[in-house]
Amino acid sequence: MDQETLGDADIIARSRDDPERFAALFTRHAPALKRYVVRRLGAEAAEDVVAETFVAAFRQRARYDLTRADARPWLYGIATNLIGRHRRGEIALYRALARTGVDPVTEPFTDGVESRVAASGARAALAGALAKLPGGHRDALLLVTWGELSYEEAARSLGVAVGTIRSRVNRARAKLRRSLRDIDPTTSYEEYGQ
């Protein structure tokens, strides 16, 4: 059977006997995971986190619950633990954006001048709010937004109840909303092209 048609659980099951099969899971999920981690930690730290995530997943593949067809919650859960080791760095990046209007994370991908001009208002406010969130709330919020996981998937990633995710996301949203209240809405919306 072509690997393209196999589900994640099938690939993991096969990789238990034939380890190199595991590489297919990387091909499938590494691009989106990398982008997610870059958005949180910047490109440099992300390389390490993504590599460690897949190496750890490979080492733990014997324990994977094969009834879970989609491996993303598992992979994002491992990544979340590893991102936690970079907590100070992550917060420092949000603060840098909040304070200076320049985002060190996106600078390598954008025209420097353009990002300086654009980065103000809402971005700075959001970054400041993200920096202040409790770690577990930030994880939950970013898994369901940047990570594009459902609440159920985020719950599996973090090993908590769905209700916990819902409550963390709601509380985090409230804090983001409050941070946006104090800024000039014209500025904040213009920068997003609205």
Partner 1 sequence: MNELELLDRLRAEVPPRQDLRAEEARLHAAIATPHQARRPKRVARLSWGLTLAGATMAAAVLVVPRLDSGPAPDVETGLTGLTAAKVLENAALVAERTDVPAPRPDQWFYLKEQQSLDRMPVFETWWRMDGKRSAARGGDGGEVKVGDEKGRTYPLKTQQEVEAFPADPDALLAHLRGMDERTALSICEPECPAGTEDDVKAFGILQWYMKFGPIIPPDTAATMFRAMARIPNVKIEENVSTADGRTGLGVVLDLGEAGKGYTILDPADYHYLGAKSVRDGEEWAMSVLGAGLVDQPGQTP
How many angstroms separate the CA atoms of 131 and 179, rounded?
11
Identify the H or E element spanning 98: helix 87-100
| Interaction residues for partner 1, span 29-48 (CB under 8 A) | 30-32, 34-35, 38-39, 43, 46-47
Q: Which letter does DSSP use for residue 71 in this model?
A: -
* CB within 8 Å of 41: residues ≥ 6 apart: 49, 83, 86, 89, 90, 93, 105
Cβ contact 50:42 at 8 Å: no
Q: Is 109 in the site for partner 1 (CB under 8 A)?
A: yes
Q: With CB under 8 A, what is the number of residues at the site for partner 1?
A: 55
Stretch that binds partner 1, among 71-79, 121-129, 155-163 (CB under 8 A): 121-129
Name the one residue in this structure whose structure tokens are 């930030």.
138
Stretch touching partner 1 by CB under 8 A, among 66-74, 138-146, 149-157, 159-167: 138-146
Burial class (CB in 10 A: 0-12, 13-18, 19+), 140: buried
The residue from 18, 69, 113, 182 that contacts partner 1 (CB under 8 A) is 18
Nearer to partner 1, 12 or 122 (CB): 122
Binding residues for partner 1, rule: CB under 8 A, are 1-4, 6, 14, 17-24, 26-28, 30-32, 34-35, 38-39, 43, 46-47, 50-52, 54-55, 58-59, 103, 105-106, 109-110, 115, 122-123, 126-127, 141, 145-146, 173, 176-177, 180, 188-189, 192, 194
